[in-house]
Amino acid sequence: MHSRFRSDRRLTTRMGITLFLLGLVYVGFVAALVVLLKSWVLVVVVAAALLGAQYWFSDRIALYAMRGRVVEREEFPELHAVIDRMCALADMPKPVVAVSDMDMPNAFATGRNPDHAVVCVTTGLLRRLEPAELEGVLAHELSHVAHKDVAVITVASFLGVLAGLIVRFAFYSQVFGGGRRDQNTAAVFAAVMGVSAAVYAISFLLIRALSRYRELAADRAAAQLTGRPSALASALTKVSGDIARIPTKDLRTAQAFNAFYFTPALGREPGIARLFSTHPSLQERLDQLGRISAELGEAASPGGV
């Protein structure tokens, strides 16, 4: 599928490098578990099943976690109309349209490919944005689908999820002998915990580096497609400001899916933590949109850049 979104070779290269490095880590991780647990059948079957489930059902998992539901045109005609226009402009298949009944203004795209994609927006976003701003946000999400980086993030995040599950399973279950552990069992327990923690840390850093770049790439693609970077900048400013005013306790559930969101579910701009953030800073995104606006010769508008 070739859409009218501009191709981004740097994004493609980064996705390839990230998947290659994570693939090496993944192979090493499985090999280490096979040696430590002495059961290659169990490890391979469980790992393959979890990877398959995350790849094939990632859209359903994300919608369920964020209380999203698929909506038809009759229920949200204006939202469908905007997505229809953006898909026609981008020359790409229309994704499934979903809405999450949350006050937090945000949007995300998920799915394994452009033919099996979902774009979900919250009711909080629909209430706050003007039509041009909503177009910018939806173009941003559609660019993730067109560039296939949403599928890459889904697959890439699997390794960290698997490592985290193994750490929890090893810690809370009796699989390693419970209270009757001998020294050998304790050593295996410690080794599995150590390998899993190391794998989680590596995948964590690789995924976040890719995620920050793909958000900038999606902003660029959306601004170039719509020709209105100032509208996207206005949406970013409005959404980020409103999220900062939402109580932290209401953001905790959403934070697990920050890598998929239009803007992260954070109560404030991170300081040193930005090195581990899934998104570039708001100022970095606005500065890029300002440069694109100047390149396109877009007239300045209230709330724009």
Q: Exposure of 253 by Cβ count < 10 A (0-12 exposed, 13-18 middle, 19+ buried)? A: middle
Helix then strand count (H, E) for the chain reads 10, 4
Binding-site residues from annotation for Zn(2+): 140, 144, 215
Contact 109, 222 (CB under 8 A): no
The residue type at 151: A
Tokens of 291: 């440069």
Is 295 among the catalytic positions? no
DSSP, collapsed to helix, strand or coil, labels residue 247 as coil
Given 72, 133, 135, 141, the catalytic residue: 141
- How far is the CA of 44 from the CAs of 22, 34, 35, 50, 217, in angstroms? 17, 8, 12, 10, 35
Residues of each annotated binding site: 140, 144, 215
Instruction: Point out the residues that are catalytic.
Output: 141
